Amino acid sequence: MKNLLFILFAASTIMFGACGKGQTQRTNTNLTATEFAEKTHELSGSPVLDVRTPDEYSKGHLQGATNIDWNGNDFQKQVAALDKSKPVFIYCLSGGRSSAAANQMRSEGFKEVYELSGGIMKWRAANLPETTNSSASGGMSKQQFDALTNSNKMVLVDFYADWCAPCKKMKPYLDEISNTMADRLVLVRINADDNQQLCKELNIDGLPVLQLYKNKKLTWTNTGYIAKEDVLKQVQ
């Protein structure tokens, strides 16, 4: 009898644990570029929101995406017109703005918001298709870039974007380093959104990115925010 009770207890414990796991399992809503592409195809007809500025949007965006500027005055008004019970896809340049927008939308009752992890930069790095509203050129060529780094001085390249918060935070001290070390260092700032093809060729798929060239060779690179003192260690 005791053995039977033990078996029944063990079985119920296993079943309860399995149910518990099933109840806490959540759908992954932070998707890689490939997953994002597959999911938008699977849920075709669902709105895709590009939450960058209109200028960024015009230089390249996902096919069929609607531009609703996260920092615009009417973001909430435009989003409120969407059906909260249906899936929504969202992206920006590198993921920061879309993450903030997605979290706000979820707090306002949207049930299924899918984010493009790493933003359109990861999309471009994966060679996925996009469209443009602009006839603007592709920006700096690789040959032009190589000419800039072909210097007898150290060349510190700063890949940035206007809406990248860490980029903005780093700019003042990078300018300061450039001014105080002008005799032996050149600072080159490259707007990633204006130089999409170059970033793709150089495998720049996140921001900010610093590259240091010494004697015309790449000797150091860093992705993400980095403090001034850590950069100074590299340029001595």
Check if 199 is active-site: no
How far is Cα 102 from Cα 33, in angstroms, rounded to an integer? Answer: 17
Reply yes or no on whether the pLDDT at 193 is more than 60.
Answer: yes
**142, 173 Cβ separation under 8 angstroms:** no
Given a cut of 70, whether residue 57 has pLDDT beyond it is yes
Q: Count other Cβ atoms within 10 Å, centred on residue 191.
A: 17
C-alpha closest to that of 140 among 131, 132, 148:
148
Q: Facing residues of 220 across strands?
A: 212
* 164 a catalytic residue: yes
Q: Is the pLDDT of residue 231 over 50?
A: yes
Q: How far is CA 5 from CA 11, 18, 38, 68, 227, in A?
A: 10, 20, 49, 61, 63
State the average pLDDT over residues 43-49: 96
- pTM for the model: 0.77
> From the candidates 19, 92, 164, 199, which is the catalytic residue?
164
For residue 169, pLDDT beyond 70: yes
Encoding tokens for residue 204?
């720049």
pLDDT for position 22:
43
In this prediction, residue 186 carries a pLDDT of 97
Share of the chain above pLDDT 90, in %: 81
**What pLDDT is recorded for position 19?**
42
Residue 32: name the closest of 143, 126, 131 by CA.
126
Least-confidence region, from 15-24, 112-121, 157-166:
15-24
Give the count of beta carbons closer than 10 Å to the beta carbon of residue 45.
8
pLDDT value of residue 199 = 94
Q: For residue range 5-44, what is the model confidence (pLDDT) as tens digits?
A: 444 444 444 444 444 444 434 578 999 999 999 999 999 9
Range 182-194 average pLDDT: 95
**Where are any strands of DSSP class E within the chain?**
30-31, 48-50, 66-67, 88-91, 113-116, 154-160, 185-191, 209-214, 217-223
Question: How do residues 82-94 score in pLDDT, each as one tens digit?
Answer: 999 999 999 999 9
What mean pLDDT is predicted for residues 187-191?
Answer: 97
Q: Over 50: is that where the pLDDT of 77 sits?
A: yes
**118, pLDDT greater than 80:** yes
CA distance linking residue 66 with residue 216, whole number of Å: 43
